Amino acid sequence: MKCRSLIAFLLVLCAFTLTGAQEGIGPPDSISADSTRGDSILPPAPVGNLKAWDTDDDHGHSVTLEWEISSDDGAGQNSVLSYEIFRWTPFFMDTLKGIRNSLAQTEAYIAELQAFLPRAKKRLKVHRKGEPGVGFADSVAFYVDTIAASERWLPLHKDRLGQLRRERAQAIDMIPQAHKSYPEQGEWRKVGTALSGQTSYVDAGVKEKVSGDYLADHADYYYRVDAVTADSTIRTSSEIAGPVQSYGQFFNTGRIPVFVAVIVFTFLTVFFVTKARRGADLYVRPLAGIEAVDDAIGRATEMGKPILYVLGLGTAADIGTIASFTILGRVAKRVAEYQTKLIVPCYDPIVMTVAQEIVKSAYLDAGRPDDYYEDIVYFVTQSQFAYVAAVNGTMLRELPATNMYMGVFFAESLILAETGALAGSIQIAGTDQVAQLPFFIVACDYTLIGEELYAASAYLGREPILLGSLKAQDYAKAAVMVLALLGLIAVNLDWTAFTDLFVVAK
Amino acid sequence: MSDVAFRIPLVVLSDIGRVISLMFIGAGLLWILVRSLRAKEVDRRIVFLFIFIAVAAPILFPITFQERATLIVRRLFDKVESLPAGSRVLLAFDFDPAMAPEVQPMADAISRHCLTKGHKVVFMTLWATGQALLTQSLERVVKGEFPEKLDGVDYINLGFKAGNENVLNIIVTDFRMMFPTDVNGVPLDSTSIFDDIRSCKDLDLIISMGGGKPGIKEWVLYVGDRVNVPLGAGVAAVVAPQLYPYYPKQLLGLLGGVKGAAEYESELVRQYPHLEERGTPGLRMMGPQTLAHMVIMAFIVIGNISYFISRRRERKR
Amino acid sequence: MRRSTIIVMAAIFGLFILTWILRSTSLASVQEHYLIGGFKVTFSAFLTLAILSFLYKDNPFYKFAEHLFVGISAAFWMSMGFWTTIVGNLIPRLSRSLSEFFQVPYQPGSYNFVYFIPVILGIMLLMRLSSKYGWFARWPLAFIVGTFAGLNFVRYLRSDFIEQVSATFVPLLVNWQGVEHFFSNFSLSASGQFVAIVGNWVIFLGVICGIIYFFFSKEHKGAFGTASRVGIWILMITFGASFGYTVMGRISLLVGRITFLFRDWLGLIS
């Protein structure tokens, strides 16, 4: 009795071992309900409704899969641990892989030879200069032979490289054709894994043809999803989905909101700039800081003290500096009319050149070209704190009645404004650097906050492009306010159709 | 017994030092208030001296406070904590030595957290001066505290690449085009950590630490809003207010200045008490920080009192 | 220079040399090159104190430290620009022999004549230094401005416009389950319903009023003017918070420096 039980047990054990040994390259399509082990994990239910399609809104080389989870995933037997995604792959792809490997090896060998040759030639030179001794002739001969062999092999390998590259290119072109051999000349290979509970997977390859992860477009792909248990041999395959071809889309529909915003904003800008160019009077509200400029200039004239104008630390390409140029022109014209002294220390040489031209033409417009001299606008240094130290020195020596800081400023803003306050000057500042605004607001009498600097430039200069852009921005702001209000109503009344319009796909 | 007997005087000295310095600061503030009320000027160098004492005293005689992470810090901490071991995290050290006192503590804390959780960490920087700080952090935190972690397997240092935001523009689709090798010249293809990483899309979390340009804003514009990968940030205090509009939609969490660093460290130590012995510089800095802030607030109040009183006097005249 | 100044300067130098010797002595058991290690720490401390001495008044030590910093940073960035951009990014893509010369890994297969275009544009940009041919620099400048404008136009519209607009779509009544539930569960905690509701109202009204403040096409009168004033209040509160954050940042840097002085230089703390 005991002997028979032992033999039966051994037979079962052998049967199990043989079953395991018979597994090939890929897992079996499914395990039948009969081949269970002692602790009986039954094969799980397969995933349902497997669909595959080309991934939307991309440049191609990607297929999206979706399925309904197995009924044994989180329910039923609760045995599903993961899902494995298989793609049918023609054996031809192994040939391509072989070509790629040979190519990589040849490239590496050529790189080695190319790195070796100059070193070897150097060593040969050294050896030839050295003292003849034991083994001297052998070393020289060794290097001579090796160099000669390398120089013989190198062109051969380069030819081989060229040939392999041609073969690779041809093989890549044959990929779609190779996939048409389904289901004969190929096998199922795993391409990815998804955890239990997941219902989708994106099989994404790269677009570089030379890469091993290249997923060709316009090839017929077939997919299968296996529901896998803790014992990876116990699994159930789904039905096959395919053929599906990947291809790139010309337009990413997920970014339509951005497209609409670009169109609307561009239209508004072009419309208002054109309107301004035609001579339309575009209203810009008066700004407190700019209205104070005239008073400040008048104050300086009465006190007989100069006006200090600082253009900031930006370059001539910065918008803040460009806006400051316009304001400088206006200030310079008034200063010329009132015959007050103007001091403009500059940080950037290009900015200095532009500022000189502006001040010179402002004096000309005011009818006082003789009052202009080169030293009104001068270069100090391109070192941040050295520049600040120099300007502080000017403030404490010249004691200007008015200080104007218009442009791009950084950490030196508070140092400038504080010293100006110490000197007793009235201070008007304007910058688009948000981090520096608090310092100017605290230490200056008037501050143009952010966009007010650009508005001031448009207000004073009345240039069509500046005015038109400002108007376009204002209309865009109005649109934002309306959209914000509508969006608020939509969220509170649960109108997802409206809020979804602002979702931009990643 | 002798050890305890030796330690007691040090502890007592520290307490005495704390008390004396606080009394000195309190008395000094009172003196300034009286002078201000009498409309006498207070030399600004006195103010500088008070700030120095307010900062120096808690460094010499440590004062520490309990910290509790706010939601904005907690979200980032929870994300790092909830990711399964083996997740791919990118840490960008986008700061220079000028920001290091604030940002380095949070960078070290986050690195420590990621490595404790067993994440695969990719280190990089967009700042030339950040490379040295990154190397120091690797020596101190990664190699010093986690010697079992392997370069190329558990973490990798890509180093610095010039190009500012253009680097981000490229790595969002292809890492290898911008970083063909790591900082030691090892090709990325021969590292196991980059087996599954082709671009930023293949990462599980990105955390950028810095405060200038290129910085968090560039990461949001060029990477965060383009890929479906959560983005967190740790910044110098100066820049933090400008980044709040990005939270919580575009930024998962934000550590602002040394306070953010202290909050993160406190959560880390609460979750992993054994990490406390490795140092909590952020928490240590909060003592002098808090005292300095209180002194500044006192000066603001005194200044305003003095201002209103002098204005009333002028009106009476 | 006056004699007293010379004596003071000599005394200061003497003190620093003394601290160098003391620091080197303490590092002798820990570091191999302890003299250099001690010098590094002492010189760093000297430069720190030299810069901080400006708070008292301008002096030769501050001037020396400032000029040293300016000179070294200029040289550092020039050399960085060459080694990271030209040698780091360009040469490995173009030339194997140059890559070997500069000891950087060559990137095989990445050669493309397109990389010569930024080289040419870069040379044109450098011509700004010439008064006769400086106009060449306008072309690469135009390329830079145009490229960045194009790259950033869409990105800023997306991240700073559309995403921000949709972020203002906030529920005004958060987790609303009736007035009774609101008052019975009332709390001022940061994660509570009341704070969430107030926060959302502030976000929405703050955005609208802030935008109204920056609206330049209409004069700020009446209700519009009131909303604009609310907007400027919101802005000022923001700037105050920003100022506070900046103060915190600056104090942190001071804490870092003083910690260095006390720990690494003077050894007063561990």
Residue type (1 letter), A260: V
Q: How many CA atoms lie within 13 A of A361 on its CB side?
A: 10
What's the rounded Cα separation, in Å, for the pair A209 and A250?
20
pLDDT for the residue B104 = 96
Cβ–Cβ below 8 Å for C169 and A442:
no
Separation in Å, CA of B118 to nearest CA in chain C: 31
Contacts of A431 (CB under 8 A, 6+ apart): A312, A320, A405, A406, A407, A408, A409, A413, A437, A440, A448, A450, A453
Cβ–Cβ below 8 Å for C242 and A438:
yes
Beta strand spans in A219-351 (E):
221-228, 235-237, 241-244, 307-312, 342-346
Q: Which two tokens stand for residue C106?
A: 């060559």
The number of beta carbons lying within 10 Å of the beta carbon of residue A227 is 28
Least confident window among A155-159, A247-251, C157-161, C187-191: C187-191
Cβ–Cβ below 8 Å for C157 and A265:
yes
C109, C208, C220 ranked by CB distance to A285: nearest: C220
Q: List domains and CATH numbers for chain B.
A: 3-63+281-316 (no CATH), 71-278 (3.40.50)
Q: Is A501 exposed, middle or buried (0-12, 13-18, 19+ CB in 10 A)?
A: middle
Cβ–Cβ below 8 Å for A474 and C215:
yes
Separation in Å, CA of A130 to nearest CA in chain C: 25
CA angle A114, A120, A122 (to 5 degrees): 115
CB A386 within 8 A of CB C71: no
Residue B214: closest CA among B127, B306, B151, B291: B127
Q: Which helix (H) or strand (E) holds B232?
A: strand B231-235
Contacts of B181 (CB under 8 A, 6+ apart): B187, B188, C105
Chain A residue whose CA is closest to B225: A506
> Which one of C173, C216, C234 would you mutate to disrupt binding with A, by most A Cβ within 10 Å of its Cβ?
C216
What's the rounded Cα separation, in Å, for the pair B168 and B221?
9
What's the rounded Cα separation, in Å, for the pair A69 and A227?
9
Q: Is A4 exposed, middle or buried (0-12, 13-18, 19+ CB in 10 A)?
A: exposed
Chain C residue whose CA is closest to A107: C108
What's the rounded Cα separation, in Å, for the pair C192 and B317?
52
CATH of domain A288-462: 3.40.50
The number of beta carbons lying within 10 Å of the beta carbon of residue C113 is 7
Q: How many CA atoms lie within 13 A of B185 on its CB side?
A: 7
pLDDT for the residue A37 = 45
A111, A470, A484 ranked by CB distance to C216: nearest: A470
* Domain ranges, ordered by start, for chain C: 3-141, 170-265
A275-313 pLDDT, tens digit each = 999 988 888 888 888 888 888 899 899 999 999 999 999
CA B30 to chain centre: 34
Q: Does A53 touch chain C (CB under 8 A)?
A: no
Contacts of C120 (CB under 8 A, 6+ apart): none
C92, C166, C249 ranked by CB distance to B237: nearest: C249
Cβ–Cβ below 8 Å for B242 and A435:
yes
A206, A434, A506 ranked by CB distance to B225: nearest: A506
Separation in Å, CA of B91 to nearest CA in chain A: 21
A413-468 pLDDT, tens digit each = 988 999 999 888 999 999 999 889 999 999 999 999 999 999 998 888 888 888 99
B226, B238, B242 ranked by CB distance to A506: nearest: B226
Contacts of A284 in chain C (CB under 8 A): 216-217
Classify A79 as helix, strand or coil. coil
Residue A324: closest CA among A293, A299, A369: A293
Separation in Å, CA of B107 to nearest CA in chain C: 15
For chain C, list the contacting chains (3+ Cβ pairs, <8 Å).
A, B
Residue B302: closest CA among B24, B36, B53, B99: B36
Contacts of A31 (CB under 8 A, 6+ apart): A43, A233, A234, A235, A236
pLDDT for the residue C95 = 87
Averaged pLDDT for residues B135-160: 95
Contacts of A504 in chain B (CB under 8 A): 225
Chain A residue whose CA is closest to C109: A107
Contacts of A442 in chain C (CB under 8 A): 243
pLDDT for the residue A3 = 44
**Would you list the DSSP string of chain C?**
--HHHHHHHHHHHHHHHHHHHHHHHHHTTT-SSHHHHHHHHHHHHHHHHHHHGGGT---HHHHHHHHHHHHHHHHHHHHHIIIIIIIIIIHHHH-HHHHHHTT----TT---GGGHHHHHHHHHHHGGG-TTTGGGGHHHHHHHHHHHHHHHHHHHIIIIIIHHHHHT---SSTT---HHHHHHT---STTSHHHHHHHHHHHHHHHHHHHHHT--SS---HHHHHHHHHHHHHHHHHHHHHHHHHHHHHHHHHHHHHHIIIIIIS----
Assign a CATH topology to domain A94-178. Methane Monooxygenase Hydroxylase; Chain G, domain 1 (1.20.58)
Write the DSSP symbol of residue B152: T
Cβ–Cβ below 8 Å for A284 and C165:
no
* Domain ranges, ordered by start, for chain A: 94-178, 254-280+468-502, 288-462
Average pLDDT taken over every residue of chain A: 87
With an 8 Å Cβ cutoff, the interface of chain A facing chain B consists of 206, 213, 434-435, 504, 506
Q: Give the bridge partners for A202, in sequence order.
A: A64
Whether the pLDDT of residue B5 is over 50: the answer is: no
Residue B55: closest CA among B284, B254, B303: B284
Return the number of CB contacts < 8 Å for B and C: 120
Cβ–Cβ below 8 Å for C169 and A111:
no
Cβ–Cβ below 8 Å for B238 and A435:
yes
Cβ–Cβ below 8 Å for C247 and B293:
yes
What's the rounded Cα separation, in Å, for the pair B268 and B74?
10
Classify B279 as helix, strand or coil. coil
Residue A414: closest CA among A390, A386, A435: A435
Instruction: Give the ipTM.
Output: 0.88
Between positions 94 and 113 of A, the ones with CB within 8 A of C are 107, 111
Cβ–Cβ below 8 Å for B239 and A435:
yes
Residue type (1 letter), A447: T
pLDDT in tens, chain C (270 residues): 788 888 988 898 898 999 888 888 888 887 778 888 899 999 999 999 998 988 888 788 888 898 888 788 888 888 988 998 899 889 988 888 888 889 887 877 778 889 999 999 999 988 878 888 888 888 998 898 888 888 888 899 999 999 999 999 999 888 888 889 888 888 888 888 999 999 999 999 999 999 999 999 998 999 999 999 999 999 999 999 999 999 999 999 999 999 999 999 998 888
Cβ–Cβ below 8 Å for C165 and A480:
yes
Least confident window among A33-42, A194-203, B189-198: A33-42
Contacts of A504 in chain C (CB under 8 A): 158, 162-163
Whether the pLDDT of residue A30 is over 80: the answer is: no
Q: How many CA atoms lie within 13 A of A5 on its CB side?
A: 2
What's the rounded Cα separation, in Å, for the pair B55 and C258?
8
What's the rounded Cα separation, in Å, for the pair A450 and A447?
9
A9-28 pLDDT, tens digit each = 444 444 433 333 333 334 44
Averaged pLDDT for residues B99-117: 96
Between positions 217 and 246 of B, the ones with CB within 8 A of A are 225-228, 238-239, 242
pLDDT for the residue B8 = 54
Task: Give yes or no on whether A94-178 and A288-462 have one common fold.
Answer: no
C56-110 pLDDT, tens digit each = 887 888 888 988 887 888 888 889 889 988 998 899 888 888 888 898 878 777 7
